[in-house]
Amino acid sequence: MGKGRRKPWGKGGKKRAKFEKDGGNVWKSDRGNQKGVRQNYLDIIKENADFEKFYKLQQVCPAEEWEEFMNSLRQSLPTTFRITPTRSEANAMLHILADNLIRDAVMAGKSDSEMEIKAFPLPWYPENFAWQLNLTRKDIRRNESYFRLHNFLVSETESGNISRQEAVSMIPPLALQVEPHHKVLDMCAAPGSKTAQIIEVLQKNENEDSVGMLVANDVDNKRCYMLVHQAKRLQSPAFIITNHDAGGFPDLYCTGKDGSKQKLEFDRILCDVPCSGDGTIRKNIDVWKKWSTSNALALHNTQVQILKRGLELLTIGGYVVYSTCSLNPIENEAVIHRVLKESEGSVKLLDINLPNLKHRQGLTHWTPCSKDLVGYQTPEEVPEKWQTVVKEYMFPPKPEDLTKYPLEKCVRVLAHQQDTGNFFIALLTKTGDLPWLKTSPITEVSPESVVKAPEESANNSSNSQEDSGNLRYNRGFPDKFSRQNAKKLRGFKEDPYIFLMQDDPIWDPIRKFYCLENLKSSNFLTRSVDGKKRNIYFVTNLVKDIITNNESTVKIINTGVKVLARCGQNNKWTASDFRLAQEGLKSMLPYIKGRRVTITQEDLVILLTNEDETKPPLLTAFDPETQVQLEPLERGSCVLVIKSRTDNEGPPFCLELVGWRGATSLRGYVPKQERIHYIRLCGGDISKFETNKFQERAAAELLEQQAAEGLVDEENGNAVANDGEAIMEQDIGAD
């Protein structure tokens, strides 16, 4: 969502780079109204006559709703977020959120003189796992209930249990209808909120071996590392991050059932393409003063190129979702119409069925305009000076062709309908071979041949994309063929992916120590060739196969989830040099048949609230049944299993954490934010992990009041206790 914000065409090709250089990028972050003078967001007037003129002409909204639509564009967006639905504790999280934190915030809002807080689940999102909340930073500073809700959202987002995401951005992954066994490609993935949604579906059966997988691609190398952050949050072994121009994404290969090398075809593909981004006007208010039609006209070919490449990579019967955060039909319906026309019946447009989602149908008629906002009803009306910009293929279908191209099946979400951003979504399926591949067969080109003859390859790839109705680009080599790109791939240096061999000396001790069953060493990889292996990562069989078949021709940025980490030098008492890593524990659980200990909720709270990490709780501090399980267990890493009590207020849950059985103690290897999450689920006190200025202020006021009443020693701030209170404190200290 919001791909038009920083680099609206940052996902592919020299044309967009040139366009930005020439001043076409109207969403740059420079908010100055003159050179050297910065203009505050609050000073921007939310009016633009050209914007209104153009979209009235396009009839994107009924005339009777126009004022409501425009008024909604001038309002800030509410906060929206999702609970990660695939985790076993998701329903317990929903209970804490809805029945405690949100309830308290709403009650506090009723007595708030400035604004009443509204919070509700998005009516079209499954199982009430997505919520909308009109809470601002100013509100958070004003009320402790708001502050507690805010802290919850922040900490749970960091631990991967909640994802902050704009409401309309959640629609494309739902429309894509992903299932756990699907092979999925996200062509323009960064920053990764939709990517995260797809991963969640693929991991729906979290205790089963995943047979599906996701390739998340982005052209911007730096933005690819935003996807790495998403991968760490969601901890998937079925995830590959690649760095390519989406319009020239390379063919991938895998091993077929007969052992031969075959082209990989995807079941589902998301084309959330770079766009002008004017649908994000509620969030990116620079649009009000910098909007023009030039962006859409310049981006149309790129968008078509990405969608056509997606269809080429799709299996017959598979689905592609095309989406933008633009209102402009040149980037939306015109793209779909053009691709349907060129596909000659091999691609069909499908209905999108999301109950309770309010939306408009796709436009069947629109008016292409030049940069000076003059509209044209037919291509013949376009003056010669605009004919290189306003193309014939940007015009709507003729009336007699409307049944052939049912553009009304597209979905347009408008801001005023459900208090959201604006979005366009289309769902397509491939029903047969694509005609442009039949008429123009592709010969595969290796990177080596490109290095030898880059100029010839470059010439072959530049066949007047502007003027041909059929966009062409090369396959087999990831980017446009030029000396620069050939050199880039040849010199591309990510750390290598080294899969463990069965006879690797570290493998057998790991396998025996954790009683690993039905798991091959080849599913584990490291990122270092020489020296001791520090971390070991796990991937599924399909991901491993794709990496080994494509590593020399595809720029793989990241893959695998960390499952094992080398112990420190002082851990000489354990038989394994590697301990389990919390972030990859879910992936390993189906295969670990030993070193499991079931502990109580109270045990977990003791473990995670221990303040001195150098002195973990003694074994005797835990429940007697827990001690019985720990007694025969050899020192080293172990799995702690916690099942919720039957008398818990909320839904049941089951947690698995990494522990360490010491000589006389037990510790947990859990990051701070995840500690807060687990303690909260178990009903423990999380206040020591949070800074609560409201409580600090109340404590300071109480201390001041007590000092005034003579109840506090003013020199050192200690309370003046009576004899009974002093004895009680001594008893507590003795415990």
What gap in Å lies between CA 512 and CA 576, rounded to an integer? 9
State the sign of the Cα–Cα–Cα–Cα dihedral 98, 99, 105, 108. positive
State the sign of the Cα–Cα–Cα–Cα dihedral 243, 321, 91, 209. negative
Distances (CA, A) of 222 to 25, 102, 237, 238, 241: 19, 36, 22, 22, 12
61 catalytic per annotation: no
Of the candidates 661, 602, 656, the one whose C-alpha atom is nearest the C-alpha of residue 633 is 661
Of the candidates 27, 84, 436, the one whose C-alpha atom is nearest the C-alpha of residue 233 is 84
Is position 191 annotated in a ligand binding site?
A: yes
Question: Token pair of 564, please?
Answer: 């094992």
388 burial class (0-12, 13-18, 19+ CB within 10 angstroms)? exposed
Q: What are phi and psi of 193, to 5 degrees?
A: -70, -40
For 196, other C-beta atoms within 10 Å of its C-beta total 23
Is position 192 annotated in a ligand binding site?
A: yes
Q: How far from each other are the two terminal CA atoms of the chain, in whole angstroms? A: 55
Question: At which residue do the structure tokens 């992954």 appear?
Answer: 173
Question: Token pair of 293, please?
Answer: 């039609």
Classify residue 353 by its DSSP letter: -
Question: At which residue do the structure tokens 């396998």 appear?
Answer: 511
What gap in Å lies between CA 522 and CA 520, rounded to an integer? 5
Q: Which of 61, 271, 275, 325 is catalytic?
A: 325
Pairing of strands 253-255, 261-263: antiparallel
Question: At which residue do the structure tokens 């409580």 appear?
Answer: 695
What gap in Å lies between CA 175 and CA 170, rounded to an integer? 9
Question: Token pair of 198, please?
Answer: 């797809």
State the sign of the Cα–Cα–Cα–Cα dihedral 538, 542, 546, 548. positive
Show contacts of 449-454: CB within 8 Å, 24+ apart: 450/477, 450/481, 450/486, 451/486, 451/487, 451/490, 454/481, 454/482, 454/483, 454/486
Is position 196 annotated in a ligand binding site?
A: no
CB 163 within 8 Å of CB 77: no
Amino acid in position 294: S
Helix or strand or coil: residue 541?
helix
| Residues ≥6 apart with Cβ < 8 Å to 702 | none
Question: Token pair of 250, please?
Answer: 């390379």
Is position 638 annotated in a ligand binding site?
A: no
Is position 189 annotated in a ligand binding site?
A: yes
| Residues ≥6 apart with Cβ < 8 Å to 629 | 597, 598
Is position 250 annotated in a ligand binding site?
A: no
CB 558 within 8 Å of CB 276: no
Is position 254 annotated in a ligand binding site?
A: no
Q: What are the beta bridge partners of residue 661?
A: 636, 666
What gap in Å lies between CA 10 and CA 272, rounded to an integer? 13
Is position 717 annotated in a ligand binding site?
A: no
Annotated binding-site ranges = 188-194, 218, 245, 272
Annotated binding-site ranges for S-adenosyl-L-methionine = 188-194, 218, 245, 272
Catalytic site positions: 325
